[in-house]
A = this chain, B = another copy of it.
C-alpha cells in the first residue's frame, strides 16, 4: 500500500528503533538508555531542595529537552510499527506515553512527579543491549521456577498476613497506646516490620510481656523466611534437572505403551512397533 521508497525508510527506522542487531540499532539503544538514566537523575535532583533552588533553570530546560526527545521517539515508534494500536496499548507503549505526559501537564497544573517514577520501568529495555539471549534465557528459567511456585508462595504470603493480623491485634492489646501501638492497623504494620526481620525500631515493645511475644514473632519470622527460599530453590533445582533430562531424552526419545501382543501377551512395546519384539507376531494396531 505504501510507496516502495516510503516503506523503505520506515523499515529502516523500524530496524533502528526496535532492533539491536545493526550498529545503528545498537547505537540508538545505547543513546536511549543514557537519556533514560539522565531523565531519572533529573527527576531525582529536582526533588532535592538545595539543588533545585540553585540550578532550577538548567534542570527545567534539560527536563524539557528530554521530554521532547521522548515525545519524538514515541511518535517515531508509532509511525514505524506495523500495528500502531498494538504498540500503543502494549506494556512498553503505555510506559513510554506516561513518561512524557507529566511534563506537558505541568504546564497547566504545576509540577506533578507522580508518574516520573514510571520512567524507571523504561530501564527494562536495557536487557535488549546486553547479551540478550543469555540474560533472558537465565531469567526465563527463573521466571518459570517462580511461576511453578506461585501457588505455594500465595499460600505462604496469605498465611503471613493472617499471622500478622492476629499477632498485631494481640500486641495492641498487650502494649497499648502508651507504647506506640496506638491502633490495630499500626500494630499489624509493626508485626509485618518484625516478621520480615526489617525492624525499623520506630515502634518497639516496652512491656516484658510485649517483648516476650515480640521474641516469639521474631523467631517465627526467622523460621518462616526459610519457606519461600526453600520453595524457590527446590523448584529451581528441579527446573535445571528437567532441562538436563530433556537433553538426555534427545538421545533416547522412545515411549513404551501398554499394548499386549496377541500371540505371546508380552507388554510394553514401542509406540511405533508393528511386530512383537518377543515372538515376532504382528501387533494389532489400534
Nearest-CB residue, chain B, relative to A160: B219
Candidate in A225, A226, A239 with the most chain B CB atoms within 10 angstroms: A226
Candidate in A162, A199, A200 with the most chain B CB atoms within 10 angstroms: A200
B162 touches A49 (CB 8 A): no
Q: 1/0 per residue A157-192: CB within 8 Å of B?
A: 110111001111110110001000011111011001
- In the complex, what's the smallest C-beta–C-beta distance from A165 to chain B, in angstroms? 4
Is A6 positioned at the interface, with any CB of B under 8 Å from its CB? Answer: no
**A153–B285 Cα gap in the complex (Å)?**
52
The interface residues of chain A, by DSSP majority, are classed as: helix
Given A117-B165, A162-B124, A200-B201, also A274-B270 (CB < 8 A): no
Is A247 positioned at the interface, with any CB of B under 8 Å from its CB? Answer: no
B166 touches A121 (CB 8 A): yes
A196 touches B182 (CB 8 A): no
Nearest-CB residue, chain B, relative to A211: B189
Contact of A272 among B214, B278, B282 (CB under 8 A): B278
B200 touches A123 (CB 8 A): no
Which listed segment binds B: A27-35, A65-73, A86-94, A230-238?
A230-238
Is A113 positioned at the interface, with any CB of B under 8 Å from its CB? Answer: yes
B278 touches A275 (CB 8 A): yes
Give the size category of A's interface with B: 35 or more
Contact of A222 among B116, B196, B278 (CB under 8 A): B196
Is A277 positioned at the interface, with any CB of B under 8 Å from its CB? Answer: yes
**A167–B117 Cα gap in the complex (Å)?**
8
Q: How many copies does the complex hold?
A: 4
**A82–B201 Cα gap in the complex (Å)?**
51
B215 touches A117 (CB 8 A): no
**A44–B186 Cα gap in the complex (Å)?**
9
A236 touches B236 (CB 8 A): no
**A251–B165 Cα gap in the complex (Å)?**
46
Is A61 positioned at the interface, with any CB of B under 8 Å from its CB? Answer: no
Given A221-B198, A233-B233, A238-B237, also A185-B48 (CB < 8 A): yes
B280 touches A280 (CB 8 A): yes
- In the complex, what's the smallest C-beta–C-beta distance from A163 to chain B, in angstroms? 8
- In the complex, what's the smallest C-beta–C-beta distance from A72 to chain B, in angstroms? 24
Q: Which 8 A-B pairs have the closest CB atoms?
A: A275-B280, A117-B169, A230-B232, A273-B277, A198-B199, A230-B233, A200-B201, A280-B280
A interface vs B, CB < 8 Å?
Answer: 40, 43-44, 47-49, 113-114, 116-118, 120-121, 123-124, 126-127, 134-135, 138-139, 142, 145-146, 151-158, 160-162, 165-170, 172-173, 177, 182-186, 188-189, 192-202, 204, 208, 211-212, 214-215, 218-219, 221-223, 225-241, 244, 251-252, 254-256, 268-283, 285-286
